[in-house]
């Protein structure tokens, strides 16, 4: 009898229980996702604008951060001419870097580096020697007027310039200190205690010596010029002084004793050489050098460098109070140079009047203390 066998289909209990568990969990997650999805009407809108919104927020944040923290300072190269800009506005010029390098005892160069695109342009500008202006002053009615006038003149002089004001007395006066602080000029305010001595012939001599001692002590390298506060000076004078190498002199215009005519006193020149002297005062013809105190200037190194003043290298150069009146200039110059061969004519030919000595001082003139009125003026009209 033939036997017939049928292939039995796999029964459910032959499947692995683990496979049944995975299928049920996947089905469960799929059902949960379908429940969280938005309605079919808003689903395409979210897919369409989600990516642009994210990009907009990203670039907005980046731009905000770049605005707060720039990577570097931007330099704009504006090649503007000063003649085409009203008043030569300095704010429109490109930034410059200035370095000073001393190249000789009497000359400096100012190296300016200017950025122009991807290249740097360098130029050298000559800077003259320091001019040291020494001014003795004392308390009087016209002191404020004279110092203000001289301060306004010195403000117009090209730098570098140092104004040494020597005031007579033990301490500085508040009025002079305030005036100098507002002058806009680089200055040093000194005092001369010997000024109050009763046995002095010329108090200005000791005030100038105080300045000379200060310059020698601090080794101030420049051209020294004695400028009294009651004189009148041209701007060209200070430009000429800056060019002096050792000792320079020039003629000075002044009023005669009667103040009825003007006279000249100073050197007679042939080009750059001093060949003689001119004076109108017979009492001063015995002097070696006929020049006013404001008619010469000299290099400050003569005060401390013995090689430059070999004829008096053993002595300190100072003005003398023991000589007769009118001889302070010549006795002082004799300590600086031996003769006219060591002098320079300023300007060449000595054909210009660069300053005026007027002698217009009014004595015993009352004035308000500190130049301030404590009470109002009375109305007379």
Specify the higher pLDDT residue, 16 or 90: 16
Torsion angle, alpha carbons of 339, 343, 346, 351, to 10: 40
Binned at pLDDT 50, 70 and 90, residue 28 comes out as very low
pLDDT in tens, 90-104: 333 333 333 333 333
Whether residue 59 has pLDDT greater than 80: yes
Q: Tell me the mean pLDDT in the region 111-137.
A: 66
Q: Residue 190: name the closest of 179, 176, 202 by CA.
A: 176
Query: 131-137 and 161-168: which strand pairing?
Result: parallel
pLDDT in tens, 145-160: 999 999 999 999 999 9
What is the C-alpha to C-alpha distance for residues 270 and 348, in angstroms, rounded to an integer? 8
pLDDT at position 95, please? 36
Most confident of 77-86, 111-120, 314-323, 359-368: 314-323
Q: Tell me the mean pLDDT in the region 360-376.
A: 68
Contact indicator for 96, 113 with CB cutoff of 8 Å: yes
Active-site residue flag, 329: yes
- Containing H/E element for 332? helix 328-336
pLDDT at position 203, please? 83
Average pLDDT for the chain: 76
What is the C-alpha to C-alpha distance for residues 153 and 355, in angstroms, rounded to an integer? 12
Which residue among the candidates 167, 329, 340, 344 is catalytic per the annotation? 329
Whether residue 266 has pLDDT greater than 80: yes
């Amino acid at each position: 009898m033939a036997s017939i066998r049928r292939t039995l289909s796999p029964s459910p209990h032959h499947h692995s229980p683990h496979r049944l568990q995975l299928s049920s969990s996947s089905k469960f997650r799929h059902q949960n996702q379908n429940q969280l999805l938005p309605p079919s009407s808003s689903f395409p809108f979210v897919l369409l604008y989600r990516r642009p919104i994210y990009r907009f927020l990203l670039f907005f944040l980046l731009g905000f951060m770049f605005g707060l923290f720039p990577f570097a300072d931007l330099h704009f190269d504006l090649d503007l001419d000063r003649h085409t800009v009203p008043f030569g506005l300095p704010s429109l010029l490109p930034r410059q870097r200035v370095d000073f390098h001393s190249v000789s005892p009497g000359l400096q160069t100012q190296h300016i580096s200017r950025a122009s695109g991807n290249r740097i342009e360098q130029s050298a500008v000559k800077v003259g020697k320091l001019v040291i202006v020494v001014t003795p002053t004392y308390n009087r009615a016209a002191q404020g007027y004279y110092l203000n006038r001289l301060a306004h003149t010195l403000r117009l002089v090209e730098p570098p310039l140092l104004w040494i004001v020597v005031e007579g007395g033990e301490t500085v006066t508040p009025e002079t200190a305030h005036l100098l602080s507002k002058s806009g000029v680089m200055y040093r305010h000194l005092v001369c205690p010997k000024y109050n001595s009763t046995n002095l012939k010329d108090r200005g001599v000791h005030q100038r010596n105080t300045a000379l001692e200060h310059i020698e002590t601090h080794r101030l390298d420049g051209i020294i010029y004695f400028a009294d506060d009651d004189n009148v000076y041209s701007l060209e004078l200070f430009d000429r002084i800056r060019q002096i190498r050792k000792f320079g002199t020039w003629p000075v215009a002044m009023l005669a004793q009667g103040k009825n005519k003007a006279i000249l006193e100073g050197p007679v020149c042939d080009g750059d050489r001093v060949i003689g002297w001119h004076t109108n005062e017979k009492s001063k013809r015995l002097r070696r050098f006929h020049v006013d105190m404001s008619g010469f200037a000299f290099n400050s190194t003569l005060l401390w460098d013995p090689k430059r003043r070999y004829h008096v290298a053993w002595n300190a150069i100072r003005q003398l109070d023991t000589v007769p009146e009118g001889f302070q200039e010549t006795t002082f110059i004799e300590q600086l140079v031996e003769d006219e061969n060591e002098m320079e004519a300023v300007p060449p030919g000595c054909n210009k009047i660069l300053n005026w000595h007027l002698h217009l001082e009014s004595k015993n003139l009352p004035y308000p203390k500190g130049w301030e009125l404590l009470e109002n003026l009375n109305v007379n009209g």
